[in-house]
Structure 1
Amino acid sequence: MKRIQIEKIFHHNAYRIGVFFDKDFEVIAILKRIGATYSGSRRCWYLDYSKASYHKLRFHFPDLVVVTESSNTTLVTGINNRDLSPIASSSVLQLDSTLSNPEHKQTQITSEKLKLQLLPSIGKYWVFKMHFHHEISKQLLKIKGVYWNGNYKSYMVFRNETVKQHVEAVLGVGSFFGSDYFTKDLLPVKGKIKILPHTEATSWMEVYVPKLVAVHEKLKRFSLARFSKSKNCYLLPAAPIVMDSLHLQFESTGIDIENLLPKNYLDKRNLPNKKQLDLSKTKKSLLDMVPVQAQTYLSSMIDTLLALNYSSSTLRTYCGAFIQFLRYFEFRNPESINREEIIRFLGSLMERGLSATSGHSMVNGVQFYYQQVLGKVDYSFVLPRPKKEKKLPVVLTMEECLQIFKVVDNPKHKLLLLIGYGAGLRVSEIVSLKWSDILFEEQKIHIKNAKGKKDRMVMLPYSIVTSLQLYRELYKGKHYVFEGQFAGEPYSTGSVQQVMRNALKLTGLEKKATVHTLRHSFATHLLENGTDIRYIQQFLGHSSIKTTTIYTHLTKTAVDKIQSPLDRMVDLKSKKKLEE
């Protein structure tokens, strides 16, 4: 069993026991069985802060470690987590002694808890990072001269004495930024940066910098920068936002920027698109999960999946299963592992409570490697398939859907929920919608490249046509119907889910509903209204009618007409009494 760590966290307005570990399907299966919940913001699983929860964990994980001072900045997936609010030593989780009294007062936020980190200054700004805290972040952004820079994932503070005093007061620290205030008459460092076109690829530009350590350090901070040894220069994407960032970095240093690029050379399309960034980020995070000796096997797996144009979601699922497989066999060469050993491995996972869905993913990942990567198409490799549990999805009634829509005031947020329910869309399909996909005259929406790389046509609800047209006039989006933080980029799926969570909280409904619940509700309500199940299958984009038939178990119109034999017996008895 892998190393399990627990610590006290404050989550959803209450103290919880946070469980931290390297991703492991075996551990996840056990946690699900004992009622643990996964927190996307904290990147951990958690249970209620109680003695019973602690004893459950101790029973299943005898070697678990109680963390007495939070120092974890890279948790389950190894990704830096801004949302973690660490627990200081003064509020340590003393599980064996104090857990019987779960009532605690919320401790005052201190600089130690915020984990403040001052970074090198950029131009006119001090730069710092901290663990995310909603109230403090809100207060900081109200101060004139402070803003959040999404590119650097840091707070930018104008180097001014008054601004410094306000920020330090909010953070509860003194002399955090120093006294290197920005003044226009500072003696500048002399030097010049030359920017030339890159002849080998016009989507890049060559940035030649003077021999100054400070200048080189600033260039290295650009996440997309690459250094060319042959040309002795940095290569950066030839995009307007990158040029703006260069000017921001060097505007107060006295370094001149000489732009020798041809007219119209800069193009925002030269920035790697969302898919490129997502795939490269996924690839890097996966490779970081295995030791050097196993990276050859995993790289072959990743390259094959990319060559077959699989999505980053499939990449994570298959490779995650394959990593678990490699870890079990201590990163041996997969070609040396025989069929009996593999079946024993899968059987051990099922025995420990792994869900059927995870079991199928594990089988698919292992089988993909042997058949597609190693090319053993004729290899007699038949794996046992675990029987899948039949679970019914959560469905909202029409009245409950209406309650959710009523509490959302923001027109953009309301419209994306309405179109998700009205057309039965997945959350990924909502954020990928482009204006060119909305066929107003035909009253249809063209869903392109959806799950399984499939296109389909769905209905455009008449009731939101006017709202859509008005919304387009107000927001003036060029491509995507729902644009994100940056123009030309789609809204994130996480933001859509947050809109749904906020709406659900305002309604006070106790059902655990997500944006996908609106899709389930759409299908169920159509079926209750008498729509042929074949049409519903097409609207939802299901390959098999078997997937759609699950909604026949959820409709209440026919069920309400069926009377229990017990009720019938009671009715007959009552009727006889009346006759007597």
Structure 2
Amino acid sequence: MSPLRRRMIEDMQIRNLTPNTQRVYVAQVVRFACHFGKSPDLLGPPEIRTYLLHLTQERRLAASSIIVTVSALRFFYHTTLKRPWAVEDDIPAGRQAKKLPVVLSQEEVARFLGAVDNLKHRTILTICYATGLRISEAVRLRPAAIDSKRMVIRVEQGKGRKDRYVMLPPKLLDMLRDYWKGAHPREWLFPGRLPGQPVSPLTIDLTCRQVREQCGIAKPVSPHSLRHAFAVHLLEAGTDLRTIQLLLGHRNLSTTARYLMIATSKVCATASPLESLDVLVPTVPDLVPA
């Protein structure tokens, strides 16, 4: 490992960035350097601009992917190299299109989960829907996180290095007990193929794609889709936004509030002011051809 890479990793560790963020940031800086065939400390604003244009115009990456690259380069040049130039001006962050997720209905969720044959994978995906956990949080659960006496699940060091509790529904507890009888997990509740490591989120993503095709569900299905469905279905059932925010582990309430735009049974069922008018809306007579 080069001294420069080691210093960047140490800078991220000091600031308590998650291991996944550290891996992503290092990979982005390495790709940037490889594109020009030079050490990144020899590159500057002109190369950064050229590289971002390359990602946008030639590789046609999504805005979300480019934002990750921008964040990694900003950290490297501002924090690790302490370059005097204005990082925000030379490494602009593009705007990400705000798209509403497509939400599965409860019937679609039931059909999808019922078609997952692998008990471990079905249990993980059921956790994502039953509790709203991110897939990265679900696969890293430990057996001790399941508290059947208080009927809660403890999520340790979730996104943003935050701990929180989520509910443990009785149906999910029954499924976990069935899974436990056959698997007898030790360190991780859902161990992977590699010794000492939990199952990979990519494995669960692959299961989602395969089962979605088998079920004939037209909507996209992923572990995060089940998290979205959890939030929307709770909102439509009358749960307040603040509670949903705590369950999802959102830092800002505004992030949770976006689900108001897709909770159709709550928003679209609101009576239109037209219904309170005393006068009738005139009807347009049918046009009869001459």
1:321 pairs with 2:24: no
Q: Is the 8 A contact 1:433 1:447 kept in 2?
A: yes
Amino acid of the residue matched to residue 322 of structure 1?
V
Q: Deviations over 1:438-477 (max 9, x none)?
A: 1111111000111222111111112222332343234322
Q: Deviations over 1:325-382 (max 9, x none)?
A: 3345541563563x4x256336634762543323322222222112221245x75433
Amino acid of the residue matched to residue 362 of structure 1?
T
SS of corresponding position for 2:268: helix
Q: Counterparts of 1:25-424 in structure 2 under 5 Å?
A: 297-306=4-13, 308-331=15-38, 334=41, 337=44, 339=45, 341=46, 344-345=49-50, 348-349=53-54, 352=57, 353-376=60-83, 380-383=86-89, 384-424=92-132
Counterpart for residue 498 of structure 1: 206
Q: Is the 8 A contact 2:260 2:267 kept in 1?
A: no
Q: Deviations over 1:178-236 (max 9, x none)?
A: xxxxxxxxxxxxxxxxxxxxxxxxxxxxxxxxxxxxxxxxxxxxxxxxxxxxxxxxxxx
Amino acid of the residue matched to residue 87 of structure 2?
F
SS of corresponding position for 1:561: coil
Counterpart for residue 160 of structure 2: 452
Larger Rg: 1
For the structure 1 residues 551 and 504, does the alpha-carbon distance in structure 2 shift closer, same or farther, using more than 3 Å as the test?
A: same
Uncovered stretches (5+) of structure 2, i.e. residues with no partner: 274-279
For the structure 1 residues 360 and 491, does the alpha-carbon distance in structure 2 shift closer, same or farther, using more than 3 Å as the test?
A: closer
For the structure 1 residues 413 and 299, does the alpha-carbon distance in structure 2 shift closer, same or farther, using more than 3 Å as the test?
A: closer
Greater per-residue helix proportion: 2
Amino acid of the residue matched to residue 367 of structure 1?
R
SS of corresponding position for 1:447: strand
Q: Is the 8 A contact 1:420 1:427 kept in 2?
A: yes
Offset, 1:554: 1.2
For the structure 1 residues 478 and 320, does the alpha-carbon distance in structure 2 shift closer, same or farther, using more than 3 Å as the test?
A: closer
Q: Is the 8 A contact 2:9 2:22 kept in 1?
A: yes
More deviation in 429-438 or 483-492?
483-492
Offset, 1:485: 4.0
Amino acid of the residue matched to residue 49 of structure 2?
R
For the structure 1 residues 355 and 414, does the alpha-carbon distance in structure 2 shift closer, same or farther, using more than 3 Å as the test?
A: closer
Q: CA RMSD in A?
A: 3.3
- Quick one: distance in 2 between partners of 1:350 and 1:485? 34
Offset, 1:320: 3.1
Offset, 1:481: 2.4
- Quick one: distance in 1 between partners of 2:37 and 2:244? 47
Q: Is the 8 A contact 1:478 1:488 kept in 2?
A: no
For the structure 1 residues 407 and 321, does the alpha-carbon distance in structure 2 shift closer, same or farther, using more than 3 Å as the test?
A: closer
Counterpart for residue 555 of structure 1: 263
More deviation in 308-317 or 532-541?
308-317
1:546 pairs with 2:249: no
Q: Is the 8 A contact 1:346 1:359 kept in 2?
A: no
SS of corresponding position for 2:154: strand
Q: Is the 8 A contact 1:435 1:480 kept in 2?
A: yes
- Quick one: distance in 1 between partners of 2:56 and 2:120? 47
Offset, 1:490: 2.6
TM-score by length of 2: 0.80
Q: Deviations over 1:287-337 (max 9, x none)?
A: 7xxxxxxx5544543453355553443234322332343345541563563
- Higher relative CO (Cα under 8 Å, sequence separation at least 6) belongs to 2
SS of corresponding position for 1:511: coil
Uncovered stretches (5+) of structure 1, i.e. residues with no partner: 1-286, 288-294, 566-570
Offset, 1:535: 1.2
For the structure 1 residues 363 and 437, does the alpha-carbon distance in structure 2 shift closer, same or farther, using more than 3 Å as the test?
A: same
For the structure 1 residues 312 and 505, does the alpha-carbon distance in structure 2 shift closer, same or farther, using more than 3 Å as the test?
A: same
Q: Is the 8 A contact 1:445 1:457 kept in 2?
A: yes
- Quick one: distance in 1 between partners of 2:217 and 2:231? 21
For the structure 1 residues 576 and 441, does the alpha-carbon distance in structure 2 shift closer, same or farther, using more than 3 Å as the test?
A: farther
Identity %: 32
1:471 pairs with 2:179: yes
Greater per-residue strand proportion: 1
Amino acid of the residue matched to residue 492 of structure 1?
S
Offset, 1:509: 0.7
